[in-house]
Amino acid sequence: MKELPLSKVYQFIEPGPVLLVATSDHGKPNLMAMSYHMVIEDEGIPLIGCILGPWDHSFETLRKTRECVLAVPTVDLASKVVEIGNCSGIDTDKFKTFSLTPVSAEKVKAPLVAECLVNLECRIADDSLIDKYNLIILEVVKAWIDPERKERRLIHHNGNGTFTVDGETLDLRDKMVRWSSYTQR
């Protein structure tokens, strides 16, 4: 083993898939890319922990409005996702610039992204760790999937501007003896 610089640790555990966070500031929709997220609770109302930095315009909007949509893009949107994560909603209308379609959500004012495979309408469940870690815990209040979508491969950030695309699926359900309830979902 050779020492790995601590600054590179995240490159090996960054979870992905890269998501889009859609927000709405007084009716003005915006998008950012986000790969720092984790599932906290999957039973009942799902809880998702997200790291949004104060340098993001979306951070301010989410903190203020307390709601957003997490949209799950597939590999065909990869270039747009990276460009979305490299400009600011302060001076760019990202839906227009990247030819994406905002669709009214049911429970939140932030829009769904029509071109994405899955859209999760979310509200802030807990913001007590924002100041310490920029960690916002969201609860999913409504979820949508596009069943017609053929492309379903997601993109995972390797932490350095390169991405891994979903590939082969391993079926190890017969080994999930302790967690069989998951294999029946």
Ligand X SMILES: Cc1cc2nc3c(=O)[nH]c(=O)nc-3n(C[C@H](O)[C@H](O)[C@H](O)COP(=O)(O)O)c2cc1C
Binding residues for ligand X, per CB under 6 A? 18, 30, 32-36, 51-53, 56-58, 82, 85-89, 157
φ, ψ for residue 176, nearest 5 deg: -90, 50
- To the nearest whole angstrom, how small is the minimum distance from the Cβ of residue 131 to ligand X? 15
User: In terms of CB distance, is 27 or 44 closer to ligand X?
Assistant: 27
Question: What CA–CA distance (Å, rounded) separates 86 from 176?
Answer: 40
User: In terms of CB distance, is 73 or 119 closer to ligand X?
Assistant: 73
- To the nearest whole angstrom, how small is the minimum distance from the Cβ of residue 136 to ligand X? 10
- To the nearest whole angstrom, how small is the minimum distance from the Cβ of residue 99 to ligand X? 17
- To the nearest whole angstrom, how small is the minimum distance from the Cβ of residue 115 to ligand X? 17
CA pseudo-torsion sign 158, 163, 169, 173? positive
User: In terms of CB distance, is 86 or 164 closer to ligand X?
Assistant: 86
Q: Interior CA angle at 49 toward 59 and 33, to 5°?
A: 50
Q: Which residue has the tokens 């890319």?
A: 33
- To the nearest whole angstrom, how small is the minimum distance from the Cβ of residue 62 to ligand X? 9
Q: Interior CA angle at 74 toward 106 and 116, to 5°?
A: 20
User: Is residue 153 within 8 Å of residue 165, measured between CB atoms?
Assistant: yes
| H-state helical runs in the chain | 9-13, 57-65, 78-84, 94-97, 130-133, 180-183
User: Is residue 141 within 8 Å of residue 112, measured between CB atoms?
Assistant: no
User: In terms of CB distance, is 68 or 112 closer to ligand X?
Assistant: 68
User: In terms of CB distance, is 51 or 103 closer to ligand X?
Assistant: 51
